[in-house]
Amino acid sequence: MPLSFTRQDQPALIEAALEATHSKAFGPDAVAFGAKRGDKLVAVAVFERFESGCADAHFGMLDGAPLTREIIDGFSTLALHPRLLGLRRLFGRVMASNPRIQAAVIRAGWQFEARIRGGGMDGDDVILLSLGSETKAGPMPRAQATEA
């Protein structure tokens, strides 16, 4: 079943993202998107700290759903698309202790920027990755953008 994306009901999406990403809060400029398979919300993304065409990206999976290339590409496309968020560059942080997620994001075109020692909420190292509109290659994901 293909994915569909929504940004309806921002408070509910932000709440789901807080839980899925184990974040304490997002900034006041946060914009959330949800990815659904059928009627089931399987993933959330929050983009925040918008400045000069850039933003921080947070992806969270719900109910044990795997982070797939389709989900990464879908959320990235929504953020970089000129008629949606119109960003030029996304930044994301992945725990250094999670090489599986690092590899998935890098396969989706994100690039390694830096290792931030002690940059995690728990004091662990994090890997800073970025994706720019100039590096986003390949076809648009097959997912349908709906309810936007």
pLDDT tens column, 60-111: 999 988 889 999 999 999 999 999 999 999 999 999 999 988 999 999 999 9
pLDDT surpasses 70 at 126? yes
- CATH assignment at residue 104: 3.40.630.30
pLDDT band at 139 (very low <50, low <70, confident <90, very high): very low
User: For residues 137 and 102, is the Cβ–Cβ distance under 8 A?
Assistant: no
In which domain, by residue range, is 9 found? 3-145
In the chain, the number of structural domains is: 1
Predicted pLDDT of residue 9: 95
Q: 134: helix, coil or strand?
A: coil
**61 - beta bridge partners?**
43
Sheet of strand 3-6, all strands in order from the earlier edge strand to the far edge: 111-116, 126-132, 89-95, 54-61, 40-51, 31-37, 3-6, 144-145
Query: Which residue has tokens 């509109």?
Result: 133
Task: Indicate whether this model's pTM tops 0.75.
Answer: yes
- What mean pLDDT do residues 27-41 have? 95
